[in-house]
Amino acid sequence: MYSEIFRKRNCGFLRISTVRRWNEPFTEVLTNLGLLPNEVALIEITLERSKDIVTRILWKDLAYNSEIMPSEQARNYASKLIEHYYMDDCTIYTNSDWKGEKLNIQLGGWIPLTNSTFDSGVIIKHKDYCCCIWVEDED
């Protein structure tokens, strides 16, 4: 499934990373995920909201809002990715203030966690591991 997603999301940079956690500060975990160690940028979100965000970042690019793949395909990939990593004792974060619901979701303000012009995604944090599904797009 991952190779399919990477082929379909053929612009910008897509990161799907997982790291094990062993009593490391969360800032170090973020660095190990390839993100900037700025945990104050993170906003806790719900499971359903994480699926909306991942759908959006797979479906359209962040810079120009151009469609990359059909929305239903993006939603299917998003659900599979989130359900693969999510367990009941996980906490999910994003760096962005997303407006709207489902397919009407739009990027509001954000605090960058990369050096790219635009970046966003979700981080799924568990006591044993952390995963990020993240995109970076340039203007």
pTM here is: 0.95
pLDDT tens profile 85-122: 999 999 999 999 999 888 888 888 899 999 999 999 99
Calculate ∠ Cα 125-10-51, nearest 5°.
35
